[in-house]
Amino acid sequence: MAKHITVGIDIGSATIQSVIGTRGANEETLQILGLGSVLSTGVRRGRIVEIEAASKSLETSLRMAQRQAGVRVKSAFLGVGGAGLEAFRSKGSVAVSRASSEISEFDVERVLEAAQANLHPLINHEILHSFPLGFTIDAHLKTTNPVGMNGTKLECQAIFIAVLQKDIRNLVKCAELAGIGVEDVIAAPLASSRAILSDRNKDVGTILMDIGAATVSLVTYEEGMPISLEVLPIGSANITHDVAIGFKTTLDEAEELKRSFESQGMNSKKQLAEIVSARLSDIFELTNKHLKKIERERLLPAGVILTGGGACLSELVDFAKDCLELPVQIGSLQKVNLPSAIDSRLWAVAIGLCLLANDSPKQSSEFGFGLGIRHKTKNIVVRLIKSLLP
């Protein structure tokens, strides 16, 4: 049986990564055919600031993956992150359309549209994804899937994930300059969630912390749905910079010190611990602040799952447990066949994009397809952005 080849591209602050994967129609495991990774140029805090420089790095990364996979590709799924990525909550209500009072998928779509219409004006933003967090029928019966039930009024609370229009525009133009078409644009934290989080974790309640070079992405799940998303403007590169200043050494040597947590002499080791812990305290303090805002502080049974390049830090798990007072573990890929020599934490977003590209509408509850809810970005946003490009 023919296999479908998919491509995921993660344009990050430190590296630009391309993954080519395949999965048969009756297979659960994604086979990785090719990987390409190069140092980022033209990217700052997860956002493209120099399109031509970023496109050249992207082209090199993709060429590496194609050479390893032995195939040429023409299009890809792209992840978008950075501080311009935000989540908003809203409520909506509609009257049930059928005379029989039976709620249909059409009613679900209408109530989501009503919730979106009730959002505060999102200036210069484009909504990428919408997720229904819960429905209420006739003001008292609560459910996660109202289709087929009876009532006269349907209410919904939903979360909408949006990004700055200029960030998508730059992303699409960067890819097209590199000779690759854009099939879809996905919020990077959702892509890494697809690769790392199990269904059980998403159901009982967990927060995924993707610690990148310049940002930390937080996405919290409950009952299978993302209930919050936030991007912190701080990352593991900030720790490297602090170590370089504190030890008066090069960035490469500072990076090695940070990762190994080893230095010569007790005084030096104590100084290193103080520098690293000070910056980690900042990251986890902001994470706790976010959890408190969404009323989930110390209340997530599946705890914290860590991924990203910053998750390679020694002693990170114990430090996170002390700061967040939650179970903490390093994330691992779900149903992905990756060469053993590859550190999965570094590839979560790009691999997650491949997985999402392989998911059929019937299989993907991630974006509410099971309720007939349209995944917002699919072709629509991409066509809009392309129409605005010169």
Q: How many domains does the chain have?
A: 3
Give the tens place of pLDDT for each residue, 42-77.
999 889 999 999 999 999 999 999 999 999 999 999
User: Does residue 334 contact residue 198 with C-beta atoms inside 8 Å?
Assistant: yes
| Residues 178 and 74 occupy one common structural domain | yes
| Residues 231 and 351 occupy one common structural domain | no
pLDDT on residue 290: 97
Q: What mean pLDDT is predicted for residues 19-25?
A: 88
| Residues 71 and 191 occupy one common structural domain | yes
Distance CA 108, CA 213 (A): 39
Boundary (domain end) residue, out of 314, 330, 346: 330
User: Does residue 48 contact residue 54 with C-beta atoms inside 8 Å?
Assistant: yes
Res 371 pLDDT > 50 = no
Q: Which residue has the tokens 């550190």?
A: 343
| Residues 209 and 313 occupy one common structural domain | yes
pTM, entire model: 0.90
| Residues 10 and 78 occupy one common structural domain | yes
| Residues 289 and 212 occupy one common structural domain | yes
* Residue 171 belongs to domain with CATH number: 3.30.420.40
Beta strands in 288-327 (DSSP E): 304-307
| Residues 47 and 125 occupy one common structural domain | no
Please give the backbone phi and psi of residue 327, each rounded to the nearest 5 degrees, phi first: -60, 140
Parent domain of 367: 4-83+165-198+334-388
DSSP tag of 49: S
| Residues 235 and 364 occupy one common structural domain | no
Structure tokens belonging to residue 33:
């055919």
Q: Which residue has the tokens 């289709």?
A: 147
Res 361 pLDDT > 50 = no
Give the tens place of pLDDT for each residue, 193-204.
999 999 999 999
What residues are paired with 48 via a beta bridge?
43
Structure tokens belonging to residue 47:
């956002």
